Amino acid sequence: AKHLLGIEHLGPDEITTLLDLADQYVSLNRQQVKHRDTLAGLTQINMFFENSTRTQASFELAGKRLGADVMNMGMQASSIKKGETLIDTAMTLNAMHPDLLVVRHPHSGAVNLLADKVNCAVLNAGDGRHEHPTQALLDALTIRRAKGRLHRLSIAICGDIAHSRVARSNILLLGKMENRIRLIGPPTLMPSQVSDFGVEVFEDMREGLADVDVVMMLRLQRERMDGGFIPSEREYYHRYGLDADKLSHAKPDAIIMHPGPMNRGVEIDGTLADDINRSVIQEQVEMGVAVRMAAMELLVKARQSKPQDVMV
């Protein structure tokens, strides 16, 4: 592939290859010598038009650990503020000959549009409510390491599904790997086309969590709610917040996941989030660096071996 724009474009074999390489990087990242030269001489530009802690930091670390020259564009201080368009900004950067562009944007499809205009590899770091492919890949690696497999698992994705690019990419990835997916949340926070997803849908947390292997919680994404239904935090926590009682319906060894940023006491009880016997939230962050190293390495290698390849 030429870019990493969404899980939509990946097959199960490509997903497995990427996770296998990322798994090797987990071991290397834990050793003293972290620096490699796989991307030496290459330039990586990170363009984040939306706030980020985990994704931006881990893409930066991933590039540096592979020896790339990494530049973080401060989009708040860029000429976007003077009215320059996304495409003109991208073309300007393109003229400086980067090798990798990592882009987060509030509009669904903006990253695909940009990928059509530039000569380098583009990685989607989250676009609107569309996709967040590296998040789904790091979630998959976390699940595979915790459960020993990434197929025939029962996985619940809970909360604000409608506004979540994390949910969308995870539904695609976990479906391709033949898992049973349950979506749990209020009907107002379910996507309208949910029946096309090949998933089971539940309104009640206790019913939906029954015997699942993985519990994936999501944040209420108020920034994408367009003034529509916004539940009160108290009511939401009562019905959909993960607490010990609701979790007791899942399998005794079910793991708790959250992509972050997390709102304690809204979608998850803080004590459960910190429970090292159940929560893999910190592992997810660790896997993020390894998965982004693997994604960038594979894209660069694919371009070096097939420079004429125009597939996305």
User: Is 260 flagged in the annotation as binding?
Assistant: yes
Cβ proximity of 259 and 285 under 8 Å: no
Q: Which is nearer to ligand CP, 126 or 133 (CB)?
A: 126
**Helix (H) or strand (E) segment spanning residue 202:** strand 200-202
Tokens of 170: 């995870």
Cβ proximity of 94 and 117 under 8 Å: yes
Does the N-terminal peptide bond of residue 98 adopt cis geometry, omega within 30 degrees of 0?
A: no
Question: Which amino acid does the sequence have at 45?
Answer: I
Asked if 263 interacts with ligand CP (CB under 6 A), we say: no
Q: What is the pattern of x (binds ligand CP, CB under 6 A) and - over residues 31-70?
A: ---------------------xxxx---------------
Question: Which one of residues 109, 187, 228, 261 is an interface residue with ligand CP (CB under 6 A)?
Answer: 261
Q: Which is nearer to ligand CP, 54 or 239 (CB)?
A: 54
**Count of CB atoms situated within 10 Å of the CB of 145:** 16
Q: Which is nearer to ligand CP, 43 or 55 (CB)?
A: 55
Cα 42 from chain centre: 24
Q: How far is the CB of 260 from ligand CP (least distance, A)?
A: 5
CA–CA distance from 149 to each of 145, 146, 180, 198 (Å)? Answer: 7, 8, 13, 21
Q: Which of residues 123-142 bind ligand CP (CB under 6 A)?
A: 126, 135
Q: Which stretch binds ligand CP (CB under 6 A): 5-13, 194-202, 256-264, 299-307?
A: 256-264
Cβ proximity of 60 and 125 under 8 Å: no
Whose CB is nearest to ligand CP?
55
Asked if 259 interacts with ligand CP (CB under 6 A), we say: yes
Tokens of 82: 């003077």
Asked if 223 interacts with ligand CP (CB under 6 A), we say: no
Size of the site for ligand CP (CB under 6 A): 9
Q: How far is the CB of 211 from ligand CP (least distance, A)?
A: 27
Cβ proximity of 109 and 130 under 8 Å: yes
Q: How far is the CB of 104 from ligand CP (least distance, A)?
A: 7
**147 closest CA partner among 51, 217, 214:** 214
Q: How far is the CB of 166 from ligand CP (least distance, A)?
A: 7
* Alpha-helical runs (H) found in 220-267: 233-240, 244-247
Q: Which stretch binds ligand CP (CB under 6 A): 26-34, 86-94, 254-262, 290-298?
A: 254-262
Q: How far is the CB of 289 from ligand CP (least distance, A)?
A: 12
Angle of CA points 283, 183, 7, to nearest 5°: 60
User: Is 251 flagged in the annotation as binding?
Assistant: no
* The residue to which tokens 């979608």 are assigned: 267
Annotated binding site for L-aspartate: 82, 165, 219
Annotated binding site: 54-55, 82, 104, 132, 135, 165, 219, 260-261
Contacting positions for ligand CP (CB under 6 A): 52-55, 126, 135, 259-261
